[in-house]
Amino acid sequence: MRINLKIVPNAKQAKIISEGDGYKVYIPAPAVDGKANAYLIKFLAGHFGVRKSAVTLVRGETSRHKVVEITGL
């Protein structure tokens, strides 16, 4: 399954909110040196109950708008 995400880094707490055709994800990690992407993958794996290796960043590595593919659901 592929989902569209809008990322908000440096949030106080991690949470995910449905927004239109995708999700808005708040993460406490800064958008520096890939820390936000690493935290995002870990957070989504826990949220959807899959391994981190099942979550792949398809598009938007340096953007706040990302496309993520999750396998094994």
State the SS3 of 11-66.
CCCCEEEEECCEEEEECCCCCCCCHHHHHHHHHHHHHHCCCHHHEEEEECCCCCEE
Per-residue pLDDT reduced to its tens digit, 14-51: 999 998 888 999 999 998 888 999 999 999 999 999 99
CATH of 2-70, one of 1.25.40.80, 1.10.1200.10, 3.40.50.2300, 3.30.1200.10: 3.30.1200.10
In the chain, what are the domain boundaries? 2-70
Give me the pLDDT at residue 69, please: 95
- Total-model pTM: 0.88
- Which tokens go with 43? 């957070």
